[in-house]
Amino acid sequence: MPWRFLVFVSLQQKRHAMLAFANCKINLGLNITARRADGYHGLETIFYPVKLYDVVELNAAEHTSCHIRGLDIPGNGEDNLCLKAFRLLQNEFNLPEQQITLLKNIPIGAGLGGGSSDAAFLLKLINSKFDLGITETELEQYAGTLGADCPFFIKNKAVYAAGIGDEFAAVNVDLSAYQITIVKPPVHISTAEAYGAVRPAVPPISLKDVINLPVSEWKGKVKNDFESPVFQKYPEIAQIKQMLYDSGATFALMSGSGSSVFGIFENKVRLPALEQNNIVFYTRP
């Protein structure tokens, strides 16, 4: 975890600010099952929460704004999901103006859901700060207007996701005994580009059933349909996956539409060879 992150958190704790630690997710498999008439794609995946965090802070202010620290977020600041999340509840509950401060640590365009997590955790933070009494189910409904995977971060527990990634069912997956290592190469993959290169197909066995196998049997069975076209265009990402296996990973896969690749290890590892050209995160069990 970068030292700037730790210093920032320490300072904020001393000020007793309202903070939320917004974790990322990985996709344990991702099957693109259909191309829908509305332009979306049908899919099935497992969302799994991982201990890699952004920090969201909420303070009273004269004007509502969102200040970004840490990693840069490209694009118009008015399009920031945190700002949209706050205004969603502000309009509903007539909330006073606030300054949102976001310490960005989760890489952008990495298939880790950082932006969705920030927005979802901000909704929960607002609910707590202003004692709005919004239920989890209602928070999920608000989050669903911001993005298909935003509702996942409300309960923040592993789920099987279907539909366009917004239909959840409980799943029994526990990786708490493993170290999850995430490698983010200096490559940004357009989600639209990734979807355009995939040929939808219904797998012979649902991911919901395959995921019940031991982790040691996932290789070759738990798949990500985005890998083939992405690896073809960016062979360095395929190389990262192979290096994770060569380093002893029990299982490795690209997350979402990329470009991050994660490895699940039975023991703690350090991967200096991968650190040379990539950002590597080592999450604790």
Active-site positions?
Answer: 25, 149
**Backbone CA torsion sign across 112, 34, 217, 213:** positive
The structure tokens listed for 1 are 């975890």
User: Which residues are bridge partners to 253 per DSSP?
Assistant: 262
- Per-residue b or e along 232-263, where b marks 16 or more CB atoms closer than 10 Å to that residue's CB: eebeebbebbebbeebebbbbbbbbbbbbbbb
What is the Cα–Cα distance from 88 to 142, expressed in whole angstroms? 8
Q: Are strands 261-265 and 279-282 parallel, antiparallel or unpaired?
A: unpaired
Of 16, 6, 11, 27, nearest to 152 (Cα)?
A: 27
